[in-house]
Amino acid sequence: MDRIMEVSPYTQMLKTASMAIVVCGLPEVQEGRCGAFWPQDCGAAIENLLLQAEDLGYGTCWCGIYPNEERTARMKELFSAESTPMAVIALGVPEEEPSARGYFDPEKVRYFD
């Protein structure tokens, strides 16, 4: 986890997290099938992971790696990975339960008849 924090300075919550989950994609697996949707697939997998963790009483933080080229390359090297590291998920037992920060703006949602 110390080395992940070196690669991505935005993962300092790993100092107190119980674990880090690195979600990776294999872009070449999808060639000729459904195109380059692997980032969306990883995003959906990550969101499911966050929701399940919340349901189990854990706290998480989604920390982006891909498409930042330097972070992606360094994370690949760190794990000797063939796949592309998309994100680090910090996971632990939460000490607080902050309420939503109020970014949702109903004005930005468009409805059509």
Ligand X SMILES: Cc1cc2nc3c(=O)[nH]c(=O)nc-3n(C[C@H](O)[C@H](O)[C@H](O)COP(=O)(O)O)c2cc1C
Residues that bind ligand X (CB under 6 A): 8, 10-11, 61-64, 101, 103
| Torsion sign (Cα): 95, 46, 90, 66 | negative
CB of 34 to ligand X, least distance (A): 21
Question: For residues 49 and 81, which CB has a smaller minimum distance to ligand X in the complex?
Answer: 49
Question: Distances in Å between the alpha carbon of 10 and those of 6, 68, 71, 88, 90?
Answer: 9, 12, 11, 10, 11
Q: What gap in Å lies between CA 42 and CA 5, rounded to an integer?
A: 21
Question: For residues 10 and 79, which CB has a smaller minimum distance to ligand X in the complex?
Answer: 10
CB of 11 to ligand X, least distance (A): 6
Closest residue by beta carbon to ligand X: 64
CB of 42 to ligand X, least distance (A): 10
CB of 45 to ligand X, least distance (A): 13
Return the closest-CA partner of residue 16 out of 71, 59, 62, 78.
Answer: 59
